[in-house]
Each structure stands twice: as C-alpha cells, then as structure tokens.
Amino acid sequence: MSSDRAPPIVMYERKDSRWLLKDKHTIMLRQWDEIRSIATQMLESGDHSLLVDFDSHLDDITKDWTNQKVNTKIAELSSPANGNI
C-alpha cells in the first residue's frame, strides 16, 4: 500500500501506563481496498445513518447499539455474490 493510499487512522498503544503513538509503518489493515469500497457504498446509499453508538442508545433505548442492521449490510456488501471476497 503506497503512502497516498494509506488509511487515515492514528493508532496508539498502551505501554507502562502511558499511551504512545504506534509506528505507522507497523500498522497493517488487510483488505483496505475492500474496506474503502464498502464504506463508500454505505455513504452513497445513506446506510451509514443506521449506525448507532451506545450514547445514542442511552438517550433512546429503542436504538440498537449492537448495530445488527449495519453488520448485515456490511456482510451483504462483502459477500462473494457482490464480487468481493
């Protein structure tokens, strides 16, 4: 993966009771192109609006913070039937 295609993620790890920035050269995301494609499809279709965080669930307990609808959609988009592996 070239640096211009690297995911925009900053990762930290906990060492000796401190959070340290993880070396960006040791971070590897498998299937980054597939992840980006699925995220793009979900944004374009509006399915990202189904995502519920736990804080929203506390405000309205009818909202499913386990995000089963989102997980199902991701599984559908990543299935071999849709050209993904």
As a whole number of angstroms, the distance between CA 7 and CA 35 comes to: 10
The whole-number pLDDT of residue 25 equals 67
The three-state secondary structure class of 13 is strand
Task: List Cβ neighbours of 7 (8 Å cut-off, separation of 6 or more).
Answer: 29, 32, 35, 36
Q: What is the pLDDT of residues 26-76, one digit of tens each?
A: 666 777 788 888 999 999 999 989 999 999 999 999 999 999 999 999 999
Q: What is the pLDDT of residues 30-43, one digit of tens each?
A: 777 888 889 999 99
Both tokens of 71, joined, read: 């997980």
